[in-house]
Each structure stands twice: as C-alpha cells, then as structure tokens.
Amino acid sequence: MDEIALVAALRARMRGEVVASADEAWHEVRLPWARGVDQRPIAVATPLDVDDVAAVLAVAREHGATVAVQPTGHGAVDALEHAILVRTSAFDRIEVDVEARLARVGAGVLVGDLLAALDGTGLVGPTGSSRIVSVAGLVLGGGQGWFARLGGLGGEWLRRAHVVLPDGSARWLDDGDEAMRLLRGGAGLVAIATELELALRPVSDLRGGAIDVALEDAGAMLRAAGGLVDAEPGLALAVALLAMPDAPVLPEAIRGRSWCAARVVLADVDERAIAPLRAAAAPHRDAVAPIAPGAVHTISADPEAPGASIGWSALVPRLDDATIDALVAARQDPALAPILGIEVRLLGGVEASRPSLVPQPTERWIVSCIAPIPPGADGEAQRTAVASLADRLASVTNDLTLPTFLAGGPLSRALPPDAIEALRTWRAEHGGAVLHPSRLPD
C-alpha cells in the first residue's frame, strides 16, 4: 500500500483535517481514550460533513485500506494497521424537540452533552455510567446505563439513523431497513453513522445517588439488592465493591479506603422502593436526592482522564447466596487488590421492541470489574487479578456479556452466532470489507 499516495488523496478530496503517520500531531491524535491499545493507523481523518465521509471510504477502497470510526476511543481494541481512523467530533449538533419527545444528535455528540441539553425539559435519553462516551457508540453498541431499564438498551432509543454506507451513498435508515437492525449492535461494521434520531422518555421526578456502607456489610447490601430484582422499570441499581489503593493520585477522601456503594436512579419511582437498601446496614453516606439528567454521571464518578486498564464482565443469572458469597470473598482477597471496583448491575426492565442484533438478556444481572494500569507498569498484575476474578466467578456467571461491556473481547461474547453470520453476509454483499472488522470473529 502506498501510504503517501493515500494521504495525498485524502487531503485532496476532504475539507476536514487529515493527520498522517509522518506528522508530529499523529502521535497524539491517534491515541484512544483506552490507552492500553497502541493504535497505529495510516492516518487520522476528521470529516466535516457527509461528503468528507464518503471521500474517506472512496480513498480507502481505491488504496486497499479499511476505515475505522472512533468518536472517543473508549472501545478501542486493536492497532488499526492499514486503516484510516475517522474521528466524528465535527458532527456535534444537538436538536431537542420537547413536544415530540425527540432528539437529533450528531455522531460526535457525547452522552453528557445530550443529557445536559435535556435538563429542565422533563425528558431523559440514553446514557451509560460515563458522560464522555459518544451517544452513537452507546446507542449503536446496545449500551446499558441508568435509563436502560426505563427505555431499553441503547438501540431501543434509536428511531432513525443517517449513515454513509460502504459504497459511499448516504441515506436515512429506519426500522424498515435490514441495515438498521444490523446497525443496532453492528455499528461501524455496517456503516458510518453521521446523525441519530432518538426517542426520549418523560420523567417528572428524577432522583439518584449512592448509599455507602462498610465493605464488611457488602453481603447484606447485595442481598437487599437481590430483593429488588422485580422492581419497576424506573428503578436502576448497581452495587459496587470498591477498594482504593493508598496512591497520591487519588483524592484524599477515597485514598486507601474500601467500601460498598449501592448506586441508584429513580425515574418516577417512589423513594420508599429503596428502603431495603437503606435498611441493609448503617450508611456512611446516603446521597440519594433529586438530580438533573445532566448530573447522573456523578453517581458512578467514572474516570474521565484517558488511561490504560484491564476489564472483564459477564452476565449473572441469579444474585443468590452462592453468587453473593463468591463476590464478597473475591473482594476480600488481597491477590485481587489491583481491581479497584467490582460492580453488579440490575438488568431487565422494559421489553425490547425494535429489530436489533443485541438480544435482550434473560439474565437479570451483569458483573463487571476494572483494574487500572498505573503509568509505566506492564499491566501483568492487573491481567492476573482480572483473570483470577473471572475464574472465581465462573460457577455463578456465564461466558456472555453486553457489547459495550466487552472490554476488548470478540463480539461473539455479546452477539449470538446468527447475528455474527448476518453481519458477515451483509458485509460480503454490500462491500463492507472497507469497514475495519474490529471485534468481528475470524
């Protein structure tokens, strides 16, 4: 591949910026948010409009390259060699129609910016736990977050999508298009989305926050959470078992501390619904209070600075005594100290109604963990700890997860075989080879 000719063609045919591997700026713009992945694309392109996106695809086809779309880089998984990396930050429009309960957002809009735009409207939209992931990544990846039990996994919020298809043609997709079903879960394996139309949900009374108890009370809190498995859809719940190192980079308030946090969001749900959580143990802190949509990210307080980490997740059929005992024992094991957080999140809620590759889990819970890798470390301690946790929980979990919880794993852990085959077939019939096959099993 003649990379010089490819870059020259991009610059000649695009209005947006193109940064090549020979440019000094490449070393910074190539980096994903997940810094544990060393991305080395041929070039990083920032299209300004749909015509620019079509031009990127055309140049890639002509030069034998692939195109990978990455609004923020939270889901980075491979080196992107022989690929053009597309950043969608220029697609940043947010338009909210309160009366119609609809939002139109560009593919570069962050979740936090959409939710902040909904403050005071009495409406909520799709969200994860972090405000700095893109709406497109969350929605097209079938993301699960604070309003997923109320409105469904990410794709359930999507009414229409404006995309550029592999052949460079641009159009709006709706539920009458097979490509729309594939887009929900297949995302950048199917097309490059430039704008999404989302259905919003009315919420007149929104509350949220964390109830913190001592780590030795984690078992009691998890049992109380298990009793809420059939709670109404407006109640979102996650229980996190946290252990912070005594590291100077951490705020003094949490440095060296271990505790259990029950994190909740109540969307038009009476606060009495969480009485079992409040009665489980004497709280160190009870911060559940009225909250604006644009502030729900503060409940989880996910890190916003880029960094390297190792993660893992799996669906959990039951939060029974065996599962709770395994979780508590794992958190108490000093060998798993590199894992800062082990979280169990309640799934379920509204039934799926829109065509999607992402199946509605029959499991009612999902467990996940995160082990940050300190700068300069090789990550071996983190990998060992996460692998050990997965082994310890193998008897109470299965080997499946949700797409946005993959933490670098193949799509086959989140999508059924027929969904993977549908993606392969569609790509073969529509020139999809130009779209980088990230996470698609060989």
Tell me the C-alpha distance between 180 and 167, whole Å: 16
At 287 the pLDDT is 97
Which two tokens mark 299? 């409940």
Pairing of strands 43-46, 83-86: parallel
At 97 the pLDDT is 98
- Rounded to whole angstroms, what are the CA distances from 136 to 195, 220, 297, 344? 8, 38, 17, 25
CATH number of 94-202: 3.30.465.10
Output the pTM of the full model.
Answer: 0.94
CATH number of 206-411: 3.40.462.20
Class of domain 3-86: alpha beta
Q: What is the pLDDT of residues 57-104, one digit of tens each?
A: 999 999 999 999 998 778 788 889 999 999 999 999 999 999 999 999
At 270 the pLDDT is 97
Mean pLDDT of 246-254: 80
Which two tokens mark 106? 């560009």
Tell me the C-alpha distance between 4 and 235, whole Å: 54
* pLDDT exceeds cutoff 80 at 442: no
User: For residue 223, with 0-12 CB atoms within 10 Å meaning exposed, 13-18 middle and 19 or more buried, which class applies?
Assistant: middle
**Same CATH fold, 206-411 and 3-86?**
no
Phi, psi dihedrals of residue 47, rounded to the nearest 5°: -65, 145
Rg, Å, the chain Cα set = 22
Question: Do the Cβ atoms of 237 and 346 come closer than 8 Å?
Answer: yes
Q: What is the pLDDT of residues 381-401, one digit of tens each?
A: 999 999 999 999 999 999 899
Tell me the C-alpha distance between 78 and 65, whole Å: 15
Collapsed DSSP state (helix, strand, coil) of residue 401: coil
Tell me the C-alpha distance between 442 and 439, whole Å: 9
Question: Do the Cβ atoms of 273 and 231 come closer than 8 Å?
Answer: yes
Collapsed DSSP state (helix, strand, coil) of residue 18: strand
Q: What is the pLDDT of residues 129-152, one digit of tens each?
A: 999 999 999 999 999 999 999 999
Mean pLDDT of the chain, nearest integer: 95
Domain boundaries, the chain: 3-86, 94-202, 206-411
Closest alpha carbon to 300 in 267, 253, 347, 265: 265
Question: Of all helices (H) and strands (E), which one includes residue 265?
Answer: strand 258-267
* pLDDT exceeds cutoff 80 at 409: no
Phi, psi dihedrals of residue 313, rounded to the nearest 5°: -155, 160
